[in-house]
Amino acid sequence: MRNAYCRRLYKLMAEDERIFALTADIGFKNFDSIAADFPSRFINVGVAEANMTGIAAGLALSGKIPFIFTIAPFVTLRCMEQIRLDLCLQNLPVKIIGAGGGFVYGPQGTSHHAIEDIGMLRTLPNMTIICPADPLETEKAVQASLDLKGPCYIRIGRNGEPPVYQYDYDFILGKAVRLREGEDITLLTHGLSVANCLAAAELFKMEGLACRVLNLHTIKPLDEMAILAAAVETGGILTVEEHNIIGGLGSAVAEILAESGLAVNFRRLGLKDTFIETYAHHSELQKILGLDPPAIARAAKEMILTEELLTPQIVLN
């Protein structure tokens, strides 16, 4: 996905001299062609992410279109004040690219895990949040971000992610993509969890159950109509994401469902409000944390088989 980002960025920079590429001392091989062919519009600020955000704001105020890039927690959590005041308050068209969303950088530990980024950025006015599922969708997200007049966060993986899309399609900001049909339950997901949800749906099918899979590539704004349709048309909704269950996609969907007044079987699958204390590779962490295909399929099946009262129960001690 990093390579896909750089490919599309190179093409855009060749077409539009307003576009600048900024990095915080990472991605040198990825940016070699950009640095060689557009040296006056490529800036490596060093390990100074907050400064990079401020520089991008200045460029945007000068009529430029800056793309800033580094590891996801460094370009979001470390820069929240600058993003809030320099970018969102002034509604500037700065594109924030966070590599290694979720816990892609598993062995590097908590400092490199992006498990709160979506929740924090969702609270900021004027911010758009996009989480592509594969290299093709990454390129489409980068292209679509050019039409935004305000700031945008694009949360990508690293490299080597499997393709989700086997065909071209129309990418529309704020519109979910239905990747699989089904009426027994709906998996709502985004980014690096999409491939696992599709694999889980295959396991689901082997048991004679049909699982709808929706890729909500745009977390803000969300496709409310697709979510409400799933609530009405299927037997339940399970959100799946590499993020804290507080603040991420699950929270956003819960807000929509609660305000709709619909009674729906609903569950969030993600990190259960905890840090990851195990040092392991991405796929190992997915298994340990219950976000691999078998675990997703089990959670979905449990929702269907368990007779749960949809009317909230209040217990007073």
Q: Looking at the domain assignment, is residue 83 inside a domain?
A: yes
Q: Looking at the domain assignment, is residue 162 inside a domain?
A: no
Q: Looking at the domain assignment, is residue 316 inside a domain?
A: no
Q: In what order do the strands lie in the sheet with 152-155?
A: 42-44, 19-23, 65-71, 95-99, 152-155, 128-130, 218-220
On whether both 24 and 77 belong to a single domain, the answer is yes
Give me the chain's average pLDDT, please: 94
On whether both 92 and 206 belong to a single domain, the answer is no
Kindly state the average pLDDT of the residues 137-147: 96
> Which DSSP category does 25 fall into?
S
Q: Looking at the domain assignment, is residue 317 inside a domain?
A: no
Domain boundary among 121, 155, 189: 155
Q: Looking at the domain assignment, is residue 149 inside a domain?
A: yes
Between 281 and 27, residue with greater pLDDT: 281
Domain region containing 297: 177-304
| Amino acid letter, 243 | H
Distance CA 240, CA 286 (A): 11
| CATH number for 75 | 3.40.50.970
Q: Which of 49, 116, 139, 242 is catalytic?
A: 49
On whether both 123 and 8 belong to a single domain, the answer is yes
On whether both 144 and 10 belong to a single domain, the answer is yes
On whether both 215 and 131 belong to a single domain, the answer is no
pTM: 0.94
Kindly state the average pLDDT of the residues 85-93: 98
Q: Looking at the domain assignment, is residue 169 inside a domain?
A: no
Q: Looking at the domain assignment, is residue 171 inside a domain?
A: no
Q: What is the pLDDT of residue 309?
A: 38
Q: What is the pLDDT of residue 305?
A: 85
Assess whether pLDDT exceeds 90 at residue 317.
Answer: no
On whether both 243 and 286 belong to a single domain, the answer is yes
Q: What is the pLDDT of residue 242?
A: 97
| CATH number for 254 | 3.40.50.920
On whether both 203 and 66 belong to a single domain, the answer is no
**Residue 49 annotated to the active site:** yes
pLDDT, tens digit, 9 for 90 and up, residues 284-307? 999 999 999 999 999 999 998 874
pLDDT, tens digit, 9 for 90 and up, residues 174-204? 999 999 999 999 999 999 999 999 999 999 9
On whether both 92 and 53 belong to a single domain, the answer is yes
Kindly state the average pLDDT of the residues 45-68: 97
Q: What is the pLDDT of residue 307?
A: 45
On whether both 194 and 92 belong to a single domain, the answer is no
Distance CA 310, CA 174 (A): 29
Between 221 and 317, residue with greater pLDDT: 221
Q: What is the pLDDT of residue 166?
A: 87
Q: Looking at the domain assignment, is residue 164 inside a domain?
A: no
Assess whether pLDDT exceeds 80 at residue 55.
Answer: yes
Query: What ranges in 207-292 are assigned the alpha helix state H?
Result: 224-233, 249-260, 282-288
On whether both 271 and 238 belong to a single domain, the answer is yes
On whether both 208 and 108 belong to a single domain, the answer is no
**pLDDT band at 168, cuts 50/70/90?**
very high
Picking from 190, 271, 195, the residue whose alpha carbon sits closest to that of residue 227 is: 190
On whether both 83 and 35 belong to a single domain, the answer is yes
- Sign of the torsion formed by the C-alpha atoms of 155, 158, 159 and 165: negative
**Total domains in the fold of the chain:** 2
Picking from 265, 262, 241, 263, the residue whose alpha carbon sits closest to that of residue 252 is: 241
Could you check whether the bond before residue 221 is cis, i.e. omega within 30 degrees of 0?
yes
